[in-house]
Amino acid sequence: EADIYQTPRYLVIGTGKKITLECSQTMGHDKMYWYQQDPGMELHLIHYSYGVNSTEKGDLSSESTVSRIRTEHFPLTLESARPSHTSQYLCASSGSGAWTGNTIYFGEGSWLTVV
């Protein structure tokens, strides 16, 4: 079982509100990722981090921002939510280096609905 947790699992929020999706892992992984996925569609990488104070944009442009102040924590923030942000957001983490240490583990996802 992977020790990676996302909160909230489900969130319905009004347009213009600021939201933060939380992601924590207790595996000591250096690398963390955020993916966005609409129902029935493919996963899109929106942010990733190689370690503390490292953040990079993914392949899909996103209005969200991320921070990595602590190894175990990788929150995603939307300053002003819009209906187009309605989606599932999946957080993941991965170790580095060893053969068995590079499996990527996913959280259960956060379903965001902006009304």
Partner 1 sequence: DAKTTQPTSMDCAEGRAANLPCNHSTISGNEYVYWYRQIHSQGPQYIIHGLKNNETNEMASLIITEDRKSSTLILPHATLRDTAVYYCIVRVNSRDDKIIFGKGTRLHILP
CB of 80 or CB of 113, closer to partner 1: 113
Those residues with Cβ within 8 angstroms of residue 89's Cβ, 6 or more apart along the chain or in another chain: 6, 21, 34, 35, 36, 37, 76, 109, 110, 112
Record the tokens describing residue 74, joined without a space. Answer: 């990788």
Record the tokens describing residue 50, joined without a space. Answer: 């190689």
Closest CA to 74 of 4, 17, 13, 10: 4
CB of 75 or CB of 107, closer to partner 1: 107
CB of 7 or CB of 88, closer to partner 1: 88
CB of 81 or CB of 90, closer to partner 1: 90
Query: How far apart (Å, rounded) are the C-alpha atoms in residues 90 and 105?
Result: 10
> Taking CB under 8 A as the rule, which mask of x and - marks residues 68-107 in contact with partner 1?
--------------------x-x-x-x-xx-x--xxxxxx
Residues in contact with partner 1 by the rule CB under 8 A: 30-31, 33, 35, 37, 39, 42-43, 45, 48, 50, 56, 58-59, 88, 90, 92, 94, 96-97, 99, 102-109
